């Protein structure tokens, strides 16, 4: 799939070395096809790392995908250069007059705070409400999934007895739904979180359809509004060494962190982790783009102001 991004986005070179087809605007205008516009609200502190992970995940379909990045205006990012944000990111005020095929809202390292304590919570609520009318389908990842379930359906998160950290096995619950088309009966996916929305609360919400669940990690994937809202409780976009980096970072800080489960061969952090979840992660995003974005959105609706 050709991903259309700004020609000087730093991760472009990495994607091209991985043989991912990346095009800039000059080449895109010569293709006589309808691109689909995806907006990514990046709430992660290491924004360039998350950009790379998500662009990889969006790169496995023949569709032309025009990707834009958004940041919240009510929070100061301390881990990404201001020059990078000013050049490659927009604020909600700059995009809210437009409509998008799809949107991804990332996780954020604020899960142990109450939602109302997060400094950009009011802005995020406005954005989540806006998606109902301006975005065909929105994926909420990890903390954002908990925030979305709380805002849209009143489901509260709770602290867990221990951090859910590592690779966990999930079982597909509703194979007829196109979002999990092509999935094996069971699959692995990464998690890294201290909180959860209880499985029983999600099961009790008639608006939600559960698509994958784990005995150890709870509900992994559910959706509402016929796929206009998709909630992913883990991090399928993580690359091979993301959990490794988190573990060694926290270990270096002297924090009480256990080995990520089912991750290192022989549970030895000196061993290179095996990449065991990429195929299903790619399948998830490909199905989303195809069945819930591209085949649903009217051509004349995309990218136009009201």
* Residues tagged active-site: 142, 235, 237
Please answer whether residues 195 and 160 qualify as being in contact, where contact means their C-beta atoms are separated by less than 8 angstroms: yes
| DSSP helix/strand/coil, 172 | strand
Task: Quote the Cα angle for 147-151-152, to 5°.
Answer: 115
The helix-helix angle for 278-287 and 47-57 (nearest 10°) equals 70
Binding residues: 163, 192, 249
Binding residues for substrate: 163, 192, 249
DSSP 292: I
Distances (CA, A) of 241 to 37, 78, 139: 29, 23, 23
Adjacent-strand bridge partners of 190? 167
Q: Alpha helices of the chain — where are they, by DSSP H?
A: 11-17, 25-28, 47-57, 82-88, 92-95, 121-134, 143-153, 199-204, 242-252, 278-287
Determine the Cα–Cα distance for residues 295 and 306; give it in Å rounded to an integer: 22
Determine the Cα–Cα distance for residues 142 and 25; give it in Å rounded to an integer: 31
Task: Quote the Cα angle for 78-80-85, to 5°.
Answer: 110
Please answer whether residues 184 and 171 qualify as being in contact, where contact means their C-beta atoms are separated by less than 8 angstroms: no
Element containing residue 214 per DSSP (H, E): strand 209-214
Name the maximum alpha-carbon separation found in the chain.
56
Residue 45: closest CA among 19, 76, 73, 15: 76
């Amino acid at each position: 799939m050709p991903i259309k991004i700004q020609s000087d986005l730093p991760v472009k070179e990495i994607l091209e070395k991985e043989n991912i087809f990346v095009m800039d605007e000059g080449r895109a205008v010569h293709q006589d096809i309808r691109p689909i516009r995806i907006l990514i609200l990046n709430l992660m502190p290491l924004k360039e790392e998350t950009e790379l992970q998500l662009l990889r995940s969006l790169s496995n379909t023949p569709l032309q995908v025009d990707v834009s990045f958004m940041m919240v205006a009510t929070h100061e990012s301390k881990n990404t250069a201001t020059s990078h944000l000013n050049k490659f990111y927009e604020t909600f005020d700059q995009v809210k007059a437009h409509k998008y095929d799809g949107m991804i809202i990332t996780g954020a390292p604020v899960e142990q705070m109450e939602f109302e304590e997060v400094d950009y919570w009011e802005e995020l609520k406005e954005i989540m409400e806006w998606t109902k009318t301006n975005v065909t389908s929105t994926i909420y990842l990890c903390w954002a999934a908990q925030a979305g379930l709380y805002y849209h359906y009143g489901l509260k998160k709770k602290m867990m007895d221990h951090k859910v950290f590592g690779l966990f096995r999930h079982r597909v619950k509703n194979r007829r739904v196109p979002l999990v088309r092509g999935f094996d009966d069971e699959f692995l996916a990464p998690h890294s979180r201290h909180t959860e929305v209880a499985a029983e609360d999600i099961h009790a919400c008639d608006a939600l359809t559960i698509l994958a669940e784990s005995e150890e990690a709870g509900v992994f994937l559910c959706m509402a509004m016929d796929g206009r809202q998709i909630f992913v409780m883990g991090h399928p976009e993580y690359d091979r060494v993301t959990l490794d980096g988190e573990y060694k970072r926290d270990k270096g800080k002297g924090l009480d962190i256990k080995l990520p489960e089912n991750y290192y061969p022989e549970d030895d952090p000196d061993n290179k982790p095996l990449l065991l979840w990429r195929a299903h992660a790619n399948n998830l995003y490909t199905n989303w783009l195809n069945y819930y974005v591209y085949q649903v959105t009217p051509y004349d609706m995309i990218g136009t102001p009201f």
